Amino acid sequence: MQWDRRAFIKLAVGGVLGVHASPLVWKLMDDSTIWTQNWSWVPVPEDGEVAFANTVSPQTGNAVQTRLVLGRVDGTRAIRVEGNPDHPLGKGGVVPEDSSALQLLYNDDIRVKTPLMRDKATGRIVPLSWPEALDLLSGNLAELVKKGKPEGIMALGHDPDSTTSQLLMSLMAALGSPNVAFTPDARETLALAGLATMGQTDLGFDLANADFVVSFGTPLLENFGNPVATRKAFASWRAYPKNSGYLAQIEPRASVTASQADLWLACNPGTEGALAMAMCAIMIQEGLYDQQAVGAAFGFEDEGDFPGFKSYVLKNYPREQVAAMAGVPLSKLLKLTLDFAKAKRAVAVCGPGPSGGPGRMYDFMAVLALNALKGNIGKPGGVLVQGELPLKPLGEASLATKVPPLVNPALGLDQNNPHAMAEAALTGKPYGINTLLLVGGNFMYNGPSAGTMQKLARQTPFVVAITPFLDESAAVADLVLPSTHWLEGWGDSVSPFGSPVASYGLHLPLIKAVPEAKDAGEILLSVAARLGGKPAKALPYKNVEEALAVRSEALGDFEKLAEQSYWVQEKPNYGAIQFNTPSGKFEFFSLGLFKLLSGRAGNPTALAQMVAGMGVSGGLEAAFLPHWEPPAAADDLGTGMPLLLQAVPSLRTTWGGDAITPYMVKVLPDTMLADKDKLVVEMNPATAHELHLYEGDMVRVDSTAGSLIAKVHLFEGASPGMVFAPVGLGHQAFGFQVADKGMNFNNAAKVTSDPMSGLPIWELTAVSVEKV
Amino acid sequence: MVIDLDKCTGCGACSVACMSENNVGVLHDETDKIRSITWLRVYQIDNGKSFPDTEVAFIPRPCMHCQGGKAGTPGQAFFQEDPLLDSEAHPPCVSVCPATATDYDEETGIVSQIPTRCIGCRYCVAACPYHARYFNWYDVPWPKGTPRALSPFVSPRMRGVVEKCTFCYQRYQRARNKALVDGSEVGEMDYQTACTEACPSGAITFGQLQNPEHKVHKLISSEHTFRLLEKLHTDPKVYYMSKREWVRKMADNYVTRHKKLAQAAAGGGH
User: Taking the mean position of all CA atoms in its chain, how far away is CA B263?
Assistant: 26
CA distances from A464 to A141, A164, A435, A481, A641 (A): 11, 16, 8, 8, 37
Per-residue model confidence as pLDDT tens digits over B143-190: 999 999 999 999 999 889 999 999 999 999 999 999 999 999 999 999
Per-residue model confidence as pLDDT tens digits over A205-230: 999 999 999 999 999 999 999 999 99
Residues in B closer than 8 angstroms to A665, CB to CB, are 26, 30
Of the candidates B26, B158, B202, which has its C-beta nearest A737's C-beta? B26
Residue A369 is assigned to a structural domain of this protein: yes
Residue A753 is assigned to a structural domain of this protein: yes
CA distances from A753 to A128, A359, A442, A763 (A): 41, 11, 21, 11
- Average of pLDDT values for A13-40? 85
- Average of pLDDT values for B239-266? 72
Last residue in a domain, options A335, A360, A386 = A386
Residue A749 is assigned to a structural domain of this protein: yes
Of the candidates B9, B55, B149, which has its C-beta nearest A254's C-beta? B55
Best mutation target among B5, B11, B33, B163 (most A Cβ atoms within 10 Å) is B11
Per-residue model confidence as pLDDT tens digits over A415-467: 899 999 999 999 998 899 999 999 999 999 997 889 999 999 999 999 999 99
Note which residues in 658-677 of chain A have CB less than 8 A from chain B. Answer: 662-671, 673-677
- For the cut 50, the answer to whether the pLDDT of residue A659 exceeds it is yes
Residue A695 is assigned to a structural domain of this protein: yes
- For the cut 70, the answer to whether the pLDDT of residue B256 exceeds it is no
Name the pTM for this structure.
0.92
Residues in A closer than 8 angstroms to B143, CB to CB, are 107-110, 735-737
- CB environment A678-700: b (16+ within 10 A), e (fewer): bbbbbbbbebbeebebeeebebe
Average pLDDT over chain A, rounded to an integer:
93
A79, B197: Cβ pair inside 8 Å? no
B13, A69: Cβ pair inside 8 Å? no
Instruction: Mention every residue, 6+ apart, whose C-beta is less than 8 A from residue A126.
Output: A116, A117, A118, A119
CATH of B2-266, one of 3.40.640.10, 3.10.20.30, 3.40.50.720, 3.30.70.20: 3.30.70.20
User: In CATH, what number is assigned to the domain containing residue A342?
Assistant: 3.40.228.10
Q: Is A208 on the interface with B (CB under 8 A)?
A: no
Q: Is A477 on the interface with B (CB under 8 A)?
A: no
Note which residues in 130-189 of chain B have CB less than 8 A from chain A. Answer: 139-152, 155-159
Per-residue model confidence as pLDDT tens digits over A585-607: 999 999 999 999 999 888 989 99
Higher-pLDDT residue of A24, A507: A507
Angle between helices A186-198 and A361-374 (to 10 degrees): 50
- Interatomic CA distance for residues A111 and A516, integer angstroms: 11
Nearest residue on chain A to B55, judged by CA atoms?
A259
Last residue in a domain, options A332, A351, A386 = A386
Residue A396 is assigned to a structural domain of this protein: no
How far A207 CA lies from chain B's nearest CA (Å)? 14
How far B39 CA lies from chain A's nearest CA (Å)? 11
Per-residue model confidence as pLDDT tens digits over B21-45: 999 999 999 999 999 999 999 999 9
Per-residue model confidence as pLDDT tens digits over A662-683: 999 999 999 999 999 999 999 9
- Burial of residue A72 (number of CB atoms within 10 Å: 0-12, 13-18, 19+): exposed
B149, A678: Cβ pair inside 8 Å? no
Of the candidates B31, B42, B203, which has its C-beta nearest A674's C-beta? B31
Per-residue model confidence as pLDDT tens digits over B77-100: 444 445 555 556 788 999 899 999
The bridge status of strand A116-118 relative to strand A125-127 is: antiparallel
CB B133: neighbour CB atoms within 10 A?
24
Residue A640 is assigned to a structural domain of this protein: yes
How far B91 CA lies from chain A's nearest CA (Å)? 27
CB A38: neighbour CB atoms within 10 A?
10
Supply the range of the domain harboring residue A12.
5-37
Count of domains forming chain A: 3
Best mutation target among A44, A111, A231 (most B Cβ atoms within 10 Å) is A231
Residues in A closer than 8 angstroms to B116, CB to CB, are 37
Q: Is B7 on the interface with A (CB under 8 A)?
A: yes
Residue A730 is assigned to a structural domain of this protein: yes
Last residue in a domain, options A363, A386, A409 = A386
Best mutation target among A264, A666, A673 (most B Cβ atoms within 10 Å) is A666
Per-residue model confidence as pLDDT tens digits over A156-214: 999 999 999 999 999 999 999 999 999 999 999 999 999 999 999 999 999 999 999 99
Best mutation target among B6, B7, B9 (most A Cβ atoms within 10 Å) is B9
Q: Which helix (H) or strand (E) holds A212?
A: strand A212-216
A48, B141: Cβ pair inside 8 Å? no
Contact between residue A722 and residue A646 where contact means Cβ atoms under 8 Å apart: yes
Q: Is A31 on the interface with B (CB under 8 A)?
A: no
A670, B9: Cβ pair inside 8 Å? no
- Interatomic CA distance for residues A16 and A442, integer angstroms: 68
Note which residues in 64-93 of chain B have CB less than 8 A from chain A. Answer: none
- Burial of residue A567 (number of CB atoms within 10 Å: 0-12, 13-18, 19+): buried
- Average of pLDDT values for A468-481? 96
* Interface predicted TM-score of the whole assembly (ipTM), two decimals: 0.91
- Interatomic CA distance for residues A247 and A210, integer angstroms: 10
Q: Is B57 on the interface with A (CB under 8 A)?
A: yes
